[in-house]
Amino acid sequence: MVDLELGKKLSDCATEYANAAISALKHPGGVHPPTVIAACARMAGTSLFRSFALHLPNVKPGQAVLSSEADQHSPMLLRTAAGILATLGITLPASPNGELPDDKAKPMHGFLQTQRLLEPLFLPIQAKYALSARQAGQAAAIATAILIHHFAKHLAPSVAFGLAAFSFVEGSKTAPEPVTLGKNAYERLIPADG
């Protein structure tokens, strides 16, 4: 029963994440699918990064942080997204496609800009479903898969998944901005990983 409950919470949270990402990243011309997909995948990685609870006193936001935790746990984000895509009927190639085909398929926002836009929207959703940082990462990976499926007519799923894979790693290996709620408020808002 607990696994079914968690699965429902992750799915419901993922839907809200996907909708929040689309709303936050709309521009006058509409939505740029690579930007939205990369942003959601980066947030999956950032949530996972936060779950590591690394002590990094001299690291500035946006700096790369190589850790064994990221190496060990970030593949879970890929597996989660690939599994959801398979469930949605999207078949991915056995090996990645390599480079993005053109500049139109590159995100319009950088890592820190994405985090500043989405984390304030994602944290209340995470709290609503009482998810740990790791579980929030899973939910954001599910949201990324939902977005890849949603934008499949505008961006080839194999290209979108390659972009997501890069963004998962980027998020899990890049120091984010501090949480703006303050440490104590953040701890009250988000349950500790168990």
Residue extents of the structural domains in the chain: 2-189
Q: What is the pLDDT of residue 192?
A: 44
CB 167 within 8 A of CB 45: yes
Banded model confidence at residue 103, pLDDT cuts 50, 70, 90: confident
Query: pTM for the full model?
Result: 0.89
CB-facing half-sphere around the CA of 16: CA atoms within 13 A: 18
Q: What is the pLDDT of residue 110?
A: 94
Q: Which two tokens stand for residue 119?
A: 């984390």
Task: List strand residue ranges (DSSP E) for 27-121, in order.
Answer: none
CB 190 within 8 A of CB 82: no
Higher-pLDDT residue of 104 and 47 is 47
Local structure of 99: helix, strand or coil: coil
Using one digit for the tens of pLDDT, what is the confidence trace for 105-117?
A: 789 999 999 999 9
Local structure of 25: helix, strand or coil: coil
Assess whether pLDDT exceeds 70 at residue 2.
no
Using one digit for the tens of pLDDT, what is the confidence trace for 146-191?
A: 999 999 999 999 999 999 999 999 999 999 998 755 444 444 444 4
Residue 135 burial (10 A CB sphere; 0-12, 13-18, 19+): buried
